[in-house]
Amino acid sequence: NAGVTQTPKFQVLKTGQSMTLQCAQDMNHNSMYWYRQDPGMGLRLIYYSASEGTTDKGEVPNGYNVSRLNKREFSLRLESAAPSQTSVYFCASSEAGDQNTEAFFGQGTRLTVV
Amino acid sequence: RKEVEQDPGPFNVPEGATVAFNCTYSNSASQSFFWYRQDCRKEPKLLMSVYSSGNEDGRFTAQLNRASQYISLLIRDSKLSDSATYLCVVNMLGSARQLTFGSGTQLTVLP
Which range of B48-52, B58-62, B96-100, B101-105 scores highest in mean pLDDT? It is B58-62
Per-residue three-class SS string for chain B: CCCEEECCCCEEEECCCCEEEEEEECCCCCCEEEEEEECCCCCEEEEEEECCCCEEECCEEEEEECCCCEEEEEECCCCHHHCEEEEEEEECCCCCCCEEECCCEEEEEEC
Helix, strand, coil percentages for chain A (3-state, nearest 5): 5, 50, 45
- Is residue B103 within 8 A of residue A40, CB to CB? The reply is yes
Instruction: Flag whether residue B49 sits within 8 Å of chain A, measured between CB atoms.
Output: yes
| Measured distance between the N- and C-terminal CA atoms of chain A, rounded to whole angstroms | 35
For residue B104, count other CB atoms closer than 10 A to its CB. Answer: 26
Chain B residues with CB under 8 Å of A102 CB are 34, 46, 49
- Among positive and negative, which fits the CA dihedral B33, B35, A107, A95? negative
Chain B residues with CB under 8 Å of A41 CB are 103
The 3-state DSSP class for residue A85 equals helix
What residues form DSSP beta bridges with A20? Answer: A77
**Does residue B96 have a pLDDT over 80?**
no
Mean pLDDT (chain B, rounded): 90
Of B43, B87, B98, the CB nearest to A106: B43
- Kindly determine whether residue B34 and residue A31, on different chains, have CB atoms separated by under 8 Å: no
- Closest Cα to residue B33, out of B63, B3, B61, B6? B63
The 3-state DSSP class for residue A14 equals coil
pLDDT for the residue numbered A95? 81
- Once rounded to an integer, what is the mean pLDDT over residues B74-91? 95
- Once rounded to an integer, what is the mean pLDDT over residues B28-32? 82
pLDDT for the residue numbered B100? 86
Which residues does chain A have with pLDDT short of 70?
Answer: 1, 96-100
pLDDT for the residue numbered A100? 62
Amino acid symbol at A80: S
- Once rounded to an integer, what is the mean pLDDT over residues B70-97? 87
pLDDT for the residue numbered B29? 81
| Distance from C-alpha of A41 to C-alpha of A27, rounded to nearest angstrom | 29
Summarize pLDDT for A66-96 with one digit per residue, the tens. Answer: 999 899 999 999 999 999 999 999 999 988 6
Rg (CA), chain A: 13
* Confidence tier at B25 by pLDDT (50, 70, 90): very high
| Distance from C-alpha of A40 to C-alpha of B41, rounded to nearest angstrom | 14
- For A6-29, b/e burial (b = at least 16 CB within 10 A) is beeeebebeeeeeeebbbbbeeeb
Chain B residues with CB under 8 Å of A58 CB are 97
* Confidence tier at B54 by pLDDT (50, 70, 90): confident
Amino acid symbol at A78: L
- Closest Cα to residue A5, out of A28, A27, A23? A23
